[in-house]
A and B are shown apart, each in its own frame.
Chain A
């Protein structure tokens, strides 16, 4: 276990530090992506890496997502450990052929003779007019492909530890970062450490309802959990899922057996989401444990509009979560404590930025 000294840094800084530590540790780690060494440095997550490790290990890249993914796969087959970065997950769609047909399959189709150790960092978004093509949470699309691993860490601590674990992993790993997490801070050790891929973490203990949450929705769920507890005495259990593939169904089952109720909070579209997959697996394995219908909390099944007037109700938030729980538990909404709770989770500031201090663009 790493030493815990009080050292709060942001999620974005933790990613940068994870890359830095991994490159220090292993000369085969290389970093490439559109804008990696530029002045904005992928939201500062790659700042200073070229200065420290040189142009032979830190690369900008032609606007060739598919070709460059294949080139990174080839480099990985030759013993390199490339970390490829897309500023938007939407750009990775151009590389689906290489990711799905080659990266994910190489180890299997060649009978385990060789593998593809590479990481693809992709950033998903929300708000500030990200619109239809800069904001899609497509984790389920990647998670559907056997051979790919997909992770979505929520805390700065996990971001660094899971990035290092992903770089050390001998398989292709999609590392999905929510842009709104980049500015959150928590305690991150300076040293090199790993957080294992494929394990959920209990963020908040409780016995009334299990909320299995992905990425930024874990932050929203934690706000909901605190408000439910302090205003209404309802204790929910929040699981930060952290990994999308492999999916830690066992931890969710353990919690659901305790609570009897399940909500899955996902950043993605409603249909075909990993939220639906998780509920299916819980229902298949432990249907009797469920006292009420499980519920998915997701974005609606339509593309994300750009205008902030149109996104007013697009993204689920802590209010969505508390209301879903209140309905599930059949709590009286006329109680003053309910009103108090609603006031508590009301967003302070515009709905399309992570906080008041934020000004676009991003």
Chain B
């Protein structure tokens, strides 16, 4: 199923989308810049290049909608409204981190904004999101559940099990597949037969859409439609969005010297920058002035600087506390 892309968002909405993408980009870059200091001592999966998906999807949601994510969760967490200071403190292993230092980059949570948790087992949170949708349905609560999953998830049985149950019970859930074409260094073609991923979801009985994940307006439009459907009781929704990871799978650097991605692909992937593309479009339509971009940049730089200061000045957890909170 294809949905016609319509410009439903208002002018202020446009600027909000741009600012939100820019903020995620700058946070990720700041993390990358400081990672070499060896103070953030945990695996880090940056989402630079993939910001439009997180932002476009979250812009279509309400604050009481619940979300789960995966190892590359920073963008999802921030776009859903997750606390930046608590995230950075978590990367630094501090007490004020969103998991008090027990999680690190791969385990983010902010229950205040419905960000229910991110974990790094591929496919691991997919059934949890379905369970949350199931509970919402059983309790007749007006909320939907959202799960971000990568292309690699389609190699995991649990994802198919989850989709079947979601369709069987007509659950209010949105599956968002970020297809960045690689699982670590392994291209999609070495892992999966050649068929469109969204058609698999369709075969499971989900309303299924596909689009350009680097075009924020397209993402937002698809998301708005899918979220409306889910809310109206039309059952589970699925959107496959193509995108490209700019940096290494895990870590702050570029790793294209390894040669696992062909040069022209990397180049065109990075040329298709969701932020640059949208900025140019907004400027062309006279919706955005350069001064506004500069204002965003200043505000964001200040916010990030404050959040890093908060994290670095936060208390360190005690090793004595490591055996606590095993049981509720």
**Which residues of A approach B to under 8 Å, CB–CB?**
30, 56, 62, 64, 66-80, 97-98, 101-102, 106-115, 117, 146-147, 149, 170-171
Contact = CB atoms under 8 A, between A and B. Distances in A.
Contact of B128 (A30, A77, A112, A147): A77
11 contacts: A64-B165, A66-B161, A71-B131, A73-B127, A76-B131, A77-B132, A109-B103, A109-B119, A110-B107, A114-B116, A170-B327
Contacts of B100: 111
B325 interface: yes
A78 B327 CA distance: 18
Contacts of A30: 138
A72 B133 CA distance: 11
A47 to B, nearest CB: 22
Contacts of A78: 66, 131-132, 135-136, 139
B134 A171 contact: no
A242 B60 CA distance: 50
Nearest to B116: A77
B162 interface: yes
Interface of B: 66, 68, 98-103, 107, 109, 111, 116-117, 119, 121, 124-136, 138-139, 145, 157-158, 160-162, 164-165, 168, 324-328
B148 to A, nearest CB: 15
Contacts of B135: 74-75, 77-80
Contact of B117 (A72, A97, A110, A146): A110
A236 B138 CA distance: 52
Nearest to B66: A78
Given A62-B168, A107-B328, A101 B119 contact: yes
User: What 6 A-B pairs have minimum CB-CB distances, sorted nearest first?
Assistant: A74-B131, A70-B127, A67-B161, A78-B135, A115-B328, A64-B161
Contact of B131 (A73, A101, A171): A73
A74 B164 CA distance: 16
A79 B131 CA distance: 11
Contacts of B136: 78
A75 to B, nearest CB: 4
Contacts of B162: 67, 70-71
B134 A109 contact: no
A10 to B, nearest CB: 31
Nearest to A106: B117
Contacts of A64: 158, 161, 164-165
A69 B127 contact: yes
Contacts of B157: 66-67
Nearest to B127: A70
Nearest to B138: A56
B193 to A, nearest CB: 22
A114 B131 CA distance: 15
A74 B327 contact: no
Given A62-B164, A97-B158, 4 more contacts: A74-B134, A75-B132, A80-B135, A109-B102
B315 to A, nearest CB: 14
A29 B327 CA distance: 20
B132 to A, nearest CB: 4
B161 A147 contact: no
Nearest to A65: B161
Given A74-B127, A147-B326, A110 B161 contact: no
A59 B143 CA distance: 22
A109 B124 contact: no
Given A98-B124, A109-B103, A80 B138 contact: yes
In this complex, which of A64, A146, A170 has the most chain B Cβ atoms within 10 angstroms of its Cβ?
Answer: A64
Contacts of A147: 326-327
A67 B127 contact: yes
B161 to A, nearest CB: 3
B158 to A, nearest CB: 5
Given A67-B161, A74-B132, A97-B158, A111 B325 contact: yes
A78 B116 CA distance: 10
Given A64-B161, A66-B157, A69-B127, A110 B326 contact: no
A93 to B, nearest CB: 14
Nearest to A69: B127
Nearest to A170: B328
Contacts of A101: 119, 121, 124
A102 B131 contact: no
B325 A108 contact: yes
A98 B128 CA distance: 9
B156 to A, nearest CB: 9
A170 B326 CA distance: 11
B325 A68 contact: no
A115 B116 CA distance: 11
In this complex, which of B107, B129, B161 has the most chain A Cβ atoms within 10 angstroms of its Cβ?
Answer: B161
